[in-house]
Amino acid sequence: MRIGAIEAGGTKFICGIGNEQGIIEDKISFPTSEPERTLEQVISYFEHNNVDSIGIGSFGPIDIHPSSSYYGCVTTTPKPGWANFPFLKSLKQVFDVPFGWDTDVNAAALGESMWGSARGLDSCIYYTIGTGIGVGVFAEGRLVHGLVHPEGGHLLTRRHPEDRFEGNCPYHGDCLEGMAAGPAIEKRWNRKGCDIPADHLAWSMEAYYIGQSVTASILMLSPKKIILGGGVMHQKQLYPLIRKEVQSNLNGYVSAKSIVDNIDDYIVPPALGDNAGLCGALALGLQTMEGSGR
């Protein structure tokens, strides 16, 4: 079986081909430009590479309700031309194969549950902490959708006592994304995250914010694994700091072995590494082939 995968990011698109074992056999990447031009490149790739199905993990927010007239669109985005552009429909007109469609982070959660850190588990939560913050939720063996889809990147936060940064989310100011995504770190400290030393206050502050939202996720959804990916998590010292925050926030109340004794194996990086997004899209393509998902 040859499955097509599209990781549709706000900065770059990655298209690839893989198989049902989650192995990527080929991939290309190009910058996200206006939708018509970007989709021309996607179409050209899959015209040269026949596939049996295609999974798309997209930047969001997106419309995931098949009965909606904007199904398959990114709904609200400042990216020129993309808001309500018929993304999925344009591809369906060209390729007569089943399509899987979900958020990039829901896709990554599914991919990690099939082939990665949450393999064999029926629940996990996937965070990407990069240019924005996104949260994907896999629970009771399926991806969670609802009114729209989970938007955990915009959870409200309690301020770190030493933090004077006002936050830079255009909608909420000091929500999680406004305080802890890559651009917030850069604005607060006047330098890029990759240039800030590992023992700097920036990282304990970062862990304070991420730890809060991971705690909220645990209390609300009780996932069996928490996976933290995205560019900011290249700062590996964040993992132990976040684990400590979570244990301290919960203070022994959630008496699961995974949290109390074994947290190093509970809050983890994506096992699929930088392929987590593309493998997620592959997982969506596979799921839609098998007709088991939604």
Binding site for ligand ADP (CB under 6 A): 9, 11, 130-131, 182-183, 186, 192-194, 230-232, 234-235
Tally of CB atoms within 10 A around 90: 16
Nearest distance, CB of residue 284 and ligand ADP, angstroms: 17
Q: Using alpha carbons, list the distances in angstroms from residue 124 to 113, 117, 144.
A: 7, 9, 11
Nearer to Zn ion, 5 or 169 (CB): 169
Q: Is 223 helix (H, G, I), strand (E, B) or coil?
A: coil
CB of 158 to ligand ADP, least distance (A): 23
Contact partner at residue 192 from Zn ion, ligand ADP, none, CB < 5 to 8 Å by partner kind:
ligand ADP
Q: Which does 49 bind (CB under 5 to 8 A by kind): ligand ADP, Zn ion, none?
A: none
Q: How many CB atoms lie within 10 A of CB 102?
A: 29
Where on the chain is the footprint of Zn ion (CB under 5 A)? 154, 169, 171-172, 175, 177
Which CA distances in Å does 139 have to 106, 110, 202, 224?
Answer: 11, 10, 32, 9
Looking at beta carbons only, is 48 or 158 nearer to Zn ion?
158
Closer to ligand ADP by CB, 49 or 204: give it: 204
Q: How far is the CB of 153 from ligand ADP (least distance, A)?
A: 11
Cβ nearer to ligand ADP, comparing 132 with 285: 132
Best CA proximity match to 112, nearest among 224, 275, 276: 276
Q: Residue 230 to residues 108, 198, 234: CA-CA distances in angstroms?
A: 11, 17, 7
